[in-house]
Amino acid sequence: MASSTIVKIMSDKITPSMGLKTLLKISNVILLPLIGMVVFIALWAAVANNLETSLGKFPGPVAVLEQAVVLVEEHQAQAEKEAAFYERQELRNADRMAKDPSYEPNIRAFTGVPTFFDQIWTSLYTVGVGFFFASLIAVPLGIMCGLSKSAYAAINPLIQLFKPISPLAWLPLVTMVVSAVYVSDDPFFAKSFVTSAVTVALCCLWPTLINTAVGVSSVDSDLLNVSKVLRLNTWVHIQKIILPSSIPMIFTGLRLSLGIGWMVLIAAEMLAQNPGLGKFVWDEFQNGSSQSLARIMVAVLTIGIIGFALDRLMLSLQKSVSWDKSVNLR
């Protein structure tokens, strides 16, 4: 009797409009993106069938999928070679130590060609380092510009001067500076890595700096008055009033900066010849084989997917630290 009463109450609460809203929500999340992907793949296949290049027919979805499988197999084969290489070393060292207990084993590093997935990791690491140092500079500087009109007036011309500069213009200068300053017989980081990371940092710090300054300068005057009434010192004022209120704008800048940094990195890796997705694309272009275009398309799609994933990651982080949970962030 009680269970039938509960079912009746629940059925009364579930109205047709609620079911329609749920259906629309599901279609917006799953169905519409799926339709967009199907249309894109169909158009891609149609264009690829009618487009001839100097290396042959432009790769369609099937050819790209085949090369993606080949790249996975190459990575697995290289991983097996690496495991066998270290296993042989361990057996040889164990044999030597059995014969001579005073022998000190020498482990040599595997020097195989980086695979496609190794290049992905290198690119992610490089953009992460560049983005980290850019944020470390841009956020405090943006807070200073937002709090002080004099500081903003002094720094704004420099922002407008350096913000439009292309990474291709920065790269030769950064390369020469790194070569002159970063001198070591046994460097911890390769010069090409440092060059790419610095170039990424120079190009991606501006959106964070600008958005942080705007967010700080736009804090509600009532909150500023509360801070004055409570006589908060500068650090507490920034920690309790400024940062919570400007978090949305700061993260908007961070998301823009990370996207720009990821885009800049590919060009920087091409020219600096730092191992990564950019160098992979360049090497395949120089290779000029019949599979090169398909492998380049795999890299292009991978770059786009990773860029999307990085943006979603920053969005999730923004939602977790934002005090206003009612804001619809997307």
Write the DSSP symbol of residue 53: E
pLDDT in tens, 269-293: 888 778 889 999 998 888 877 788 8
How distant, in Å, are the alpha carbons of 166, 258, 314 from that of 253?
A: 19, 9, 11
Per-residue pLDDT at 73: 92
pLDDT band at 71 (very low <50, low <70, confident <90, very high): very high
Residue 280 near residue 299, CB atoms below 8 Å? yes
Q: Which of 193, 200, 196 is nearest to 257 (CA)?
A: 200
CA angle at 254 for the pair 227 and 177, rounded to the nearest 5°: 115
* Rounded Cα–Cα distance for residues 4 and 147 (Å): 63
Residue 56, pLDDT above cutoff 80: no
173 — phi, psi (to 5°)? -65, -45
List of domains in the chain? 115-321 (1.10.3720.10)
Residue 218 near residue 206, CB atoms below 8 Å? no
Residue 141: CB atoms within 10 A of its CB come to: 18
| pLDDT mean across residues, the chain | 83
pLDDT in tens, 316-328: 888 887 766 555 6
Residue 6, pLDDT above cutoff 50: no
- Token readout for 251 is 């993260």
pLDDT in tens, 165-203: 888 888 889 889 888 888 877 677 788 888 889 999 999
- Token readout for 278 is 């950019």
pLDDT band at 28 (very low <50, low <70, confident <90, very high): low
Per-residue pLDDT at 241: 83
CA dihedral 84, 90, 94, 96 (to 10 degrees): 90
Residue 281 near residue 123, CB atoms below 8 Å? no
* Rounded Cα–Cα distance for residues 186 and 178 (Å): 15
Per-residue pLDDT at 126: 92
Kindly report the pTM of this predicted structure. Answer: 0.82
**Long-range own/partner contacts, residues 63-66 (CB < 8 A, 24 or more apart):** 63/294, 64/294, 64/297, 64/298, 64/301, 66/294
pLDDT band at 127 (very low <50, low <70, confident <90, very high): very high
